[in-house]
Amino acid sequence: MSQITLPELPYAKNALEPYISAETLEFHHDKHHAAYVNKLNELLPGSGLEDKTLSEIIVATAKDDSKQGMFNQAAQVWNHTFYWNCMTPTNGGGEPTGDLKGKIEEAFGSYDKFREEFKNAAMTQFGSGWAWLVADKVGGTLSIAKTANADTPLAHGQVAVLTCDVWEHAYYIDYRNRRPEYVDTFLDKLVNWDYANAKYQGQDAGVEA
């Protein structure tokens, strides 16, 4: 039986300061993300999915109401791994680079319009959830999506390109109830466009999520 493991953060816990604190990452990664991993591993024995990859578990459970609990844990493991890699401590945020620059301008008219729509998705996701930049296929047409709770583009046949976690535990220590400030900071200071480009082109970038 395969064991789902908690991936290491792709940077030191204090690397995103002053935008996201080491304290936030200690709780968010070491407690929340770890709890999803542990719970998923508790649910796997006897499920018939013991030897599947994380992505395969998500796809297999996405539309099965009897496995909703397993889907929630697996999708949260995947979403969080993806989110960590969507941020970088060096030269993050601002206008896109690489192929995505032209593709974003093509899809939204301009980076500013994309930024407006992405922030709106993050702000209008009621309660817990995620804002996404997705493609309909590898290298395909881009659009904005938002998902509630653990839901993920992977469950809908979409390619995840970029995400911002808008569960309160992602930002409350640093920003309290100021979600708009957190989303602005994510977009302006933290986005890892190299990773987003890799995911858009279908590259694994060294991690499954």
- 99 annotated ligand-binding residue: no
Q: What is the signed CA dihedral for 142, 146, 151, 154, rounded to 10 degrees?
A: 0
Sign of CA dihedral 85, 152, 156, 49: positive
- 28 annotated ligand-binding residue: yes
Closest among 30, 58, 57 to 158, alpha carbons compared: 58
- 80 annotated ligand-binding residue: yes
- 32 annotated ligand-binding residue: no
Query: Beta partners for 147?
Result: 130
Query: Beta partners for 135?
Result: 142, 159
Q: Which two structure tokens, joined as six digits, stand for 110? A: 């301009």
The enclosing H or E element of 209 equals none
Secondary structure of 176-204 as H, E, C letters: CCCHHHHHHHHHHHHECHHHHHHHHCCCC
Q: Which two structure tokens, joined as six digits, stand for 42? A: 């508790």
| Binding site feature residues for Mn(2+) | 28, 80, 165, 169
Binding-site residues from annotation: 28, 80, 165, 169
